[in-house]
Amino acid sequence: MKDFETLLSSHGLSAILNHIHAIVILAEKDGALIAWNRAFEPFKANFPADGKLGDLFTDSVDTQSRSQFKKMERWVTHIFPGEDKQTGLLCDCMLLPLENEQVLFVAELINSAPKLLDKVDRLSKQVEVFKNESETAKKLARRKEVEMSGVMAQASEISHVDALTLLPNRRKVLRQLEDEVQRAQRYHTPLTVSILDVDHFKKINDTHGHLAGDEALKQIGQILTDCIRHPDMAGRYGGEEFLILLPSSDATAAADQAARLCKQIRETQIQTAEQILQITVSVGIAEYQPTDTWETILHRADGALYDAKVNGRDRWVIKNPQT
């Protein structure tokens, strides 16, 4: 092959290039034209004075970028003679980087039969449609994936929320209690648990109806939401009982919180369909001990709640292991 190239260069390569029908252009690496053969002359008549290789092609073909490549590039595309951007000539194109950072561009017309050209054109359009449909399908799939993730997140959230009070439900708050006890054991940090119970709740239901009882629970849920500070957590333990977790807090802090809650609820007026109710709550408090499990600390808080009820209600009681 090298001998063949040598023979060509010594026997009038310029004449050969001007004789062939393929377009041959010598250009700078940025696409600026330097020289060309006779086959390019019909195009050059309407070509911009400062034109570059990229002006020959559709906008989708970035020839200037191609000319930056350090290896030979070959592709098939349409070349548009002059300002005619509607009907192009299908060409087999090649871009060959030279050692002096210039590029040699060769475009050979594909002289196919009209039917074959039509078929190629139809196939090209079908490929473009498929690409567009594929991109649309990907976007739809991604959108559905995001929507599904949102639905799953909402379902997970709803499964841990009490529908009446919108507080964490029993399963959620007990799971959190287990985690807090394990954290207190591992890092030797304080932890206190409070159980809050509505006084004479059965009487409220019997006298004013279950709707009044539900309204009372909703109001208490709202008060707990507004008054419990992070990282404390309040959840509905069951019936008229609420569980409050106070990580990194001792019994004194829990007692201060219980006193505020008793006062706040005592002063709150519950509006029902028939009248205004005033309710009170009792609170049992237990502080974590090194020997505690989540069951034992919960049992001790329940015992403290019982003492608060026995001692007159509308109050709080702390129950330590020795009491």
**Could you give the residue numbers annotated as active site?**
240
Q: What is the DSSP letter of 238?
A: E
The residue written with tokens 């209690």 in the block is 177
Q: Where are the alpha helices (DSSP H) in 188-293?
A: 201-208, 210-227, 251-266
Measured distance CA(186)–CA(235) in Å, rounded: 24
Are 27 and 107 within 8 A, CB to CB? no
Nearest to 120 by CA among 84, 80, 92, 83: 92
Nearest to 251 by CA among 172, 304, 178: 304
Nearest to 215 by CA among 270, 278, 282, 274: 270
Within 10 Å of residue 24's Cβ, how many Cβ atoms?
20
The residue written with tokens 């419990």 in the block is 228
Please tell me the total number of residues recorded for the chain in this structure: 323
